[in-house]
């Protein structure tokens, strides 16, 4: 497959991951008042790992480098999800959606500060456009700061770190091995805390099992794994912008299945996110074409 073909496929996989994550918004909202979020995350991450585990070759596990990336990715995944869910108890869904969506801008900042990686101007433009789109999509005209917003902002930083780590991990470690490993780490940490702090919500599993099953299969086993596969050929900053479509799909599914409002400002937000992706696509195509070897040159 050509460079352009690999990048196009990667972008499509990332877009599909965003769609799957957006669809998981509905069951997550429906069971939030009943099943503890540590238990919910623990069970769905472990389910995702169990689904993919049979496809991992046993010879891959002893690799020291793989264990390091798996441990880092899993801990970041656990911390990001915990901050996001804990913060939602003390802020509005709109604030949580917007502040979490700031990882779009934080990814290039993390790459610049942490890895001294030069970020192209079009990446900054697209990231800021996408962040503004998430704001209009998630927050109404009465935006106010709440006590849980600090946790959501910390979660956005950790999400950005996780996205960068995924991109670097899949360049060195088998995608399936890394995916299963990080799910096992994140799931175990969540489940331990869930059984310790939220054991009293376990009876709710009798009615909420379907949400655990759906998100474990669709959001974790499929969505996060597609993210890892896509990031093999898409830069982290560009991947973050495409993945921000999760907010668009979440709003769409909320409108279709939960009867939530979809006002004019939200349409404007969707348009801004699509514009950000268009910026990424246009410049990535020109860059990948420029990378093609010229005829007669080896």
pLDDT tens-place values along the chain, 298 residues long: 777 788 899 999 999 999 999 999 888 888 878 999 999 999 999 999 999 999 987 666 556 778 899 999 999 999 999 898 888 778 877 788 888 899 999 999 999 999 989 888 999 999 999 999 999 998 876 677 787 889 999 999 999 999 999 999 999 999 999 999 999 999 999 999 999 999 999 999 999 999 999 999 999 999 999 999 999 999 999 999 999 999 999 889 988 888 887 888 899 999 999 999 999 887 765 554 444 444 443 3
pLDDT tens digit string along 193-241? 999 999 999 999 999 999 999 999 999 999 999 999 999 999 999 999 9
In a domain, 56, yes or no: yes
In a domain, 256, yes or no: yes
How many Cα atoms within 13 Å fall on the side-chain side of residue 256? Answer: 10
How many CB atoms lie under 10 A from the CB of residue 208?
20
In a domain, 298, yes or no: no
How many CB atoms lie under 10 A from the CB of residue 92?
18
Of 19, 40, 85, residue with least CA distance to 190: 40
| Count of domains observed in the chain | 1
pLDDT tens digit string along 232-253? 999 999 999 999 999 999 889 9
Q: Which domain holds residue 80?
A: 3-290
- pTM attached to this predicted model: 0.91
In a domain, 297, yes or no: no
Helix %, strand %, coil % for the chain, to 5? 80, 0, 20
In a domain, 296, yes or no: no
In a domain, 122, yes or no: yes
Of 102, 89, 109, residue with least CA distance to 139: 102
Q: Are 66 and 60 in contact (CB under 8 A)?
A: yes
In a domain, 182, yes or no: yes
């Amino acid at each position: 497959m050509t460079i352009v073909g690999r990048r196009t496929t990667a972008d499509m996989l990332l877009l599909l991951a965003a769609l799957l994550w957006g669809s998981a918004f509905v069951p997550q909202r429906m069971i939030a008042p009943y099943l503890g979020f540590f238990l919910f995350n623990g069970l769905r991450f472990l389910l995702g790992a169990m689904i993919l585990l049979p496809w991992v070759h046993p010879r891959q596990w002893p690799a020291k480098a793989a264990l390091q990336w798996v441990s880092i990715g899993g801990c970041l995944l656990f911390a990001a999800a915990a901050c996001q869910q804990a913060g939602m108890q003390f802020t509005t869904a709109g604030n949580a959606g917007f502040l979490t969506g700031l990882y779009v801008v934080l990814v290039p900042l993390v790459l610049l500060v942490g890895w001294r990686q030069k970020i192209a101007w079009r990446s900054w433009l697209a990231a800021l456009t996408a962040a503004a789109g998430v704001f209009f999509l998630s927050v109404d005209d009465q935006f106010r700061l709440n006590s849980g917003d600090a946790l959501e902002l910390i979660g956005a930083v950790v999400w950005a770190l996780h996205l960068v780590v995924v991109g670097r991990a899949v360049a060195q470690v088998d995608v399936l091995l890394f995916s299963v490993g990080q799910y096992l780490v994140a799931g175990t940490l969540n489940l331990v805390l869930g059984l310790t702090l939220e054991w009293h919500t376990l009876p709710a599993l009798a009615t909420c099992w379907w949400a655990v099953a759906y998100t474990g299969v669709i959001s974790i086993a499929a969505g996060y794994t597609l993210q890892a596969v896509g990031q093999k050929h898409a830069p982290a900053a560009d991947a973050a912008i495409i993945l921000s479509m999760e907010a668009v799909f979440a709003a769409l599914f909320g409108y279709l299945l939960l009867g939530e409002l979809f006002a004019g400002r939200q349409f404007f937000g969707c348009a801004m996110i699509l514009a950000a992706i268009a910026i990424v696509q246009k410049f990535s195509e020109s860059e990948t074409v420029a990378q093609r070897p010229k005829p007669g040159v080896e």
